[in-house]
Amino acid sequence: MTRARMPRPHEVDAARRDPRLLRAVDERGLDPAWRTRGACQAVDPETFFPAPSEPADAAVALCRTCDVQGACLAWALEVGDCHGVWGATTPRERRAMLVAWRAENGTADRPAEPLMLPLIRLIAPPRRSVELAPVGARP
């Protein structure tokens, strides 16, 4: 398994002009039910997660025909998913787009929040700290 590298500045510049990223910026948050209408619904999910040595051409070609391509890519960039094919992009392309996406959304300075953290906060809210009175003190 190879380690993913940070995108080079020229790759990030190219990503900023990529029409797929521009479409994702325009369509983010517009369609919360985009997954139900994706062209990928009738295809084996393994198609979208090829081994590193296998081409992703079939998945990218199918994504290019999809009506929800922008919303799909916006979701992948929002959660920072760098595995598989999302919105007609490969993981390498999305790494460069992710730098531009975070700069656009003002989140470039802070690390991405883990996906489960909001769910954990809902299930187990933070405990309140209790101050202990010194021994012998009256309330």
| Residue 40 in marked binding region | yes
**Is 82 a known ligand-binding residue?**
no
| 63 annotated as a binding-site residue | yes
User: Rounded to an integer, what distance in angstroms lies between the CA atom of residue 83 and that of residue 50?
Assistant: 9
> Is 66 part of any known ligand binding site?
yes
Beta bridge pairs of residue 89: 86
Partners of 86 in the beta sheet?
Answer: 89
Q: Tell me, what amino acid is at 98?
A: L
Q: How many Å separate Cα 77 from the centre of its chain?
A: 3
Residues 6+ positions from 87 with CB-CB distance below 8 Å: 20, 24, 63, 69, 70, 71, 72, 73, 74, 75, 76
Annotated binding site for [4Fe-4S] cluster: 40, 63, 66, 72
Annotated binding site: 40, 63, 66, 72
